[in-house]
Amino acid sequence: MLKQFIALLLLSVSLFAQSVPGDYFERNGEVYFRFRVFSKNELSDLTKIISIDKYDGKWITAYANKDEFRKFEKKGYTFEVLPPPGDVPVEMGNPRDTEAWDVYPTYETYVQMLNDLATDYPNLCRVVDAGTTTQGRKILFLVISDNVNTREPEPRFMHSSSMHGDETAAYVNMIRFADYLLVNYNTDPLVTRLVNELEIWINPLANPDGTYRSGNATVTGARRGNANNIDINRNFPDPVMGQHPDGYAWQPETQIMMNTGTQYYFNMSANYHGGAEVVNYPWDSRQARHADDNWWVNISRRYADTVHFYSNNNGYLNDLNNGITNGWDWYYVYGGRQDWFTYFRYGRELTIELSSTKLIAGSYIPTIWNYNRAAWLNLTAELLTGIQGVVKDPNGIPVKVKVTVSGHDATNSEVYSDSLTGHYARMIFPGTYTLQFSADGYQTVTVNNITAIAAQKTPLDVTIYPNGWVPVELTSFTSEVVPGGVKLSWRTATETNNLGFDIEISEDGTNFTRVASVEGAGTSVYPKSYEKFIPLASAGKYYFRLKQNDLDGSFTYSNVIESGYGVVKNFTLAQNYPNPFNSSTVLNFSLPATSGVTLSVYTMMGEEIERRELGQMEAGEHKYRFDASNLTSGNYIFRLNAGSFTASRKFTYLK
Ligand SMILES: [Zn+2]
């Protein structure tokens, strides 16, 4: 091994000349080099040509494949070729068999280790084979959660390492992180909460062809790019530069990560690199700050502070602003995974540079572990905070909705609920916010004055109603003449966002004015009764209606009822009896005047599935037996129409 190292050194020394011949690329795939720039403005062009790795204000270190490098050469910079960071000898073995986790596995051992963890902890851990690379290696994820084989309404955190194949600081450590979560489940309280309340995805090796560039037996010889010498972290669709910012087709590794990130909504993710020591937060591709910049700064700062504590402030992870930076402030990147997840997938991805040395020695792996373990746990625990809940329709079916923080969100900083579980998590800097939940075909729900508290979860479950659904279900509205005026009574079955009722009066049945208001219940799933005395100065015939106002400013009118001189004219539809029922049930209703009556049956989604014309019926009390034998079991709605009157009731049919 030592001989090989010396040979590699000699090879590198011979390359300090200012040209890179074609056969260099045949042997190495890519070149690692550095050059001087005099203004940061130069980076905006350069970042589109080569893969900038680091910028310290003067020097750029970068990678390029042959085509990229030939373009770069035309710019006329004087450059220095550097030895490939992956060409260092390392200790190989089975890290899980060693106490210290201080060796690298062969590719086959890596795959075996992941499968072993799933075998050893079948209720807590499973392996997801997300796809195959150019050279036939696997992109694997460990999924860790209680009830790991069930898609639960829980937020998802994804840890991923080494998409630059020669940046291995977190590769073995991510396997160790999975092992740590499994071993300490039900003993360590934080680990237990993380496993119980989250779904944790761990992808230790995002670019196996790059890491095992010289063969499955060793990581010595690792390269940044994949088997096609393409930097995957410049290969993603870009919010600013479009679908193919690097000019290359999406690589298998890119496509696999995009498929996985589309199939599973990752609420947060971390992307581990090496070559510097800094936490980098969005955006990389635009100067404007993310809407949640204060939140990003806060979680990045806490990551760095935690690491500084565990490294005894020995200078580790203190690049740029003492270990944190906004991506654009450092250097521009187009096609990076961080902005793809954050912009296109409405996620929250950090790029964490864990080590100045790219391919770290086996003996240094445990040091990285000791410095970062607590920060990895705490970062994952961010998903135990923020405003979280489940979004369902009134029938209890989860709905995928967009969650917007009013007056706050911008440039795709909104989040979505999971399409299968309805779960959403809106991590946000502590404060008081207004949230809107919206989806095509549904009425937007607005929730005011929701307070997010540091290090705590604010629970907020939401029911979202399909368009056409009456959110406040009025089941009766009646009047009774009393001395000096009229007493109005009404009932609701359920209320959502109900600010209250305005009572409106009219002498002609057309022109109404408000005479009183009654506060609503807000949101209630229980029946509510209301009544209000309305003084009337002069005798006569009056018309009344209710204007029901929602918290978001929208409103709905009730039916109109008449009242005057001892004449009580009511339209009511009582709850059917029995309910729930098996084959038939009885509806009781009263009519204020002879009317043509129609009874319709709707699904909970508002689709009319049956209509019965009951014919002309006289004023007074009526009973109607409803036979439901042609329906399937479930919840439905009756709607009774009589002239200008409409009323509805929910019912449950059990076959
Ligand atoms: Zn990197």
> pLDDT tens for residues 280-292?
999 999 999 999 9
pLDDT surpasses 50 at 13: no
3-state secondary structure of 450: strand
pLDDT of amino acid 570: 67
Question: What confidence score (pLDDT) does residue 482 get?
Answer: 76
If you measure from the C-alpha of residue 182 to the centroid of ligand 1, how many angstroms do you get, rounded to a whole number? 28
At 326-376, the pLDDT tens digits run 999 999 999 999 999 999 999 999 999 999 999 999 999 999 999 999 999
CA of 327 to the centre of ligand 1 (A): 13
The CA 267 to ligand 1 mean position distance, Å, reads 22
Confidence of residue 34 (pLDDT cuts 50, 70, 90): very high
Per-residue model confidence as pLDDT tens digits over 538-549:
767 888 999 988
How far is the centre of ligand 1, averaged over its atoms, from the C-alpha of 161 (Å)? Answer: 9
Ligand 1 centroid, distance to 92 Cα (angstroms): 22
The chain-wide mean pLDDT, for the chain, equals: 91
Query: Which pairs with CB-CB distance under 8 Å and at least 24 residues apart come from 230-234?
Result: 230/65, 231/51, 231/63, 231/164, 232/163, 232/164, 232/206, 232/207, 232/257, 232/337, 233/51, 233/163, 233/164, 233/271, 233/333, 233/335, 233/336, 233/337, 234/51, 234/333, 234/334, 234/335, 234/336
Which pLDDT score, from 0 to 100, does residue 621 have?
Answer: 76
Q: How far is the CA of 167 from the centre of ligand 1 (A)?
A: 6
Which pLDDT does position 620 carry in this prediction?
74
Whole-number Å distance between alpha carbons of 181 and 148: 13
Question: Is the CB of residue 534 less than 8 Å from the CB of residue 516?
Answer: yes
What's the pLDDT score for residue 469?
67
- Which uninterrupted H or E stretch holds 129? strand 125-132
Nearest to 92 by CA among 204, 252, 216: 216
Q: Does the pLDDT at position 260 exceed 90?
A: yes
Segment 82-98 shows an average pLDDT of: 94
pLDDT at residue number 6 = 43
The residues with which 613 forms a beta bridge, in sequence order, are: 598
Q: What is the pLDDT of residue 571?
A: 77
Q: Considering only residues 35 and 578, tell me which one the structure prediction assigns the higher pLDDT.
A: 35
Instruction: State phi, psi for 610 to the nearest 5 degrees.
Output: -155, 145
Burial (CB < 10 A; 0-12, 13-18, 19+), residue 7, is exposed
Catalytic residues, by residue number, are: 353
| CA of 85 relative to ligand 1 center, distance in Å | 12
- What is the per-residue pLDDT across 74-85, written as a single tens digit (0 to 9) for each? 999 999 999 999
pLDDT the model gives residue 191: 98
